């Protein structure tokens, strides 16, 4: 599993990255977490508002600083697909 957090480093971006890392720890999932800050890379995902959460190349959330619990729900859903 590969998780990418798209964003420039704003407070919501930092919250999302922290929540993603905390969610992985809580679930015991092994995953790479990558912070993507380059605007061209972000736009390649079709994202116009940050932060965004990308799991295995699929955009799962745009424009929200998700909580750990919200990221856990997304990860569990993704794992079951």
Neighbouring C-beta atoms of residue 30, cutoff 10 Å: 7
Of 2, 8, 9, 10, the catalytic one is 10
Annotated active-site residue in 3, 5, 6, 13:
13
Residues in the chain, overall count: 81
Q: Would strands 2-6 and 52-55 be described as parallel, antiparallel, or unpaired?
A: antiparallel
**Residues 6 or more apart from 30 whose CB is under 8 A from it?**
1, 24
Active site residue 13: yes
Residue 37: active-site member: no
List the catalytic residues.
10, 13
């Amino acid at each position: 599993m590969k998780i990418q957090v798209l964003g420039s480093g704003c407070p919501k971006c930092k919250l999302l990255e922290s929540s993603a890392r905390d969610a992985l720890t809580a679930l015991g999932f092994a995953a790479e977490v990558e912070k993507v800050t380059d605007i061209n890379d972000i736009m390649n995902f079709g994202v116009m508002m940050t932060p965004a959460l990308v799991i295995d190349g699929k955009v799962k959330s745009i424009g929200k600083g998700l909580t750990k619990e919200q990221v856990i729900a997304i990860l569990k859903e993704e794992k079951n697909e």
